[in-house]
Amino acid sequence: MYTERHVKLFRNGRNQALRIPREFELPGDQAIIRKQGDQLIIEPVKRQPLLELLATLHPLDEDFPRIEELPIEQVDF
């Protein structure tokens, strides 16, 4: 289903802006905008679940240094 609607452009300070009609609202509070030729494409920022992000990371190949247990000393601030 292709939906379109004419909107007016306006100035907001030094930026050009437009109001997004309710039927085109995006979820969240951030979006990505890019230009392809004469078209502007606005997409919501897709948040990746933490477990999916961690699954994309490569494991570290180094060992962590040994940390000696030091006595706890009181510190005056």
Quick check: 31 and 24 in contact, CB under 8 A?
no
In a domain, 67, yes or no: no
Q: Is residue 61 part of a domain?
A: no
Q: Which of 58, 28, 62, 20 is nearest to 44 (CA)?
A: 28
Q: In this structure, is residue 23 part of a structural domain?
A: yes
pLDDT single digits (tens) 11-28: 999 999 999 999 999 998
Domain span at 21: 9-54
Domain membership flag for residue 17: yes
In a domain, 45, yes or no: yes
pLDDT in tens, 29-73: 899 999 999 999 999 998 888 998 899 999 888 888 888 887 778
**Is the residue at 31 inside a domain?**
yes
Q: Work out how many domains the chain is built from and give that number.
A: 1
Cβ–Cβ under 8 Å, residues 9 and 17: yes
pTM confidence score: 0.54
Question: Does 76 map to a domain?
Answer: no
Flag whether 41 is in a domain: yes
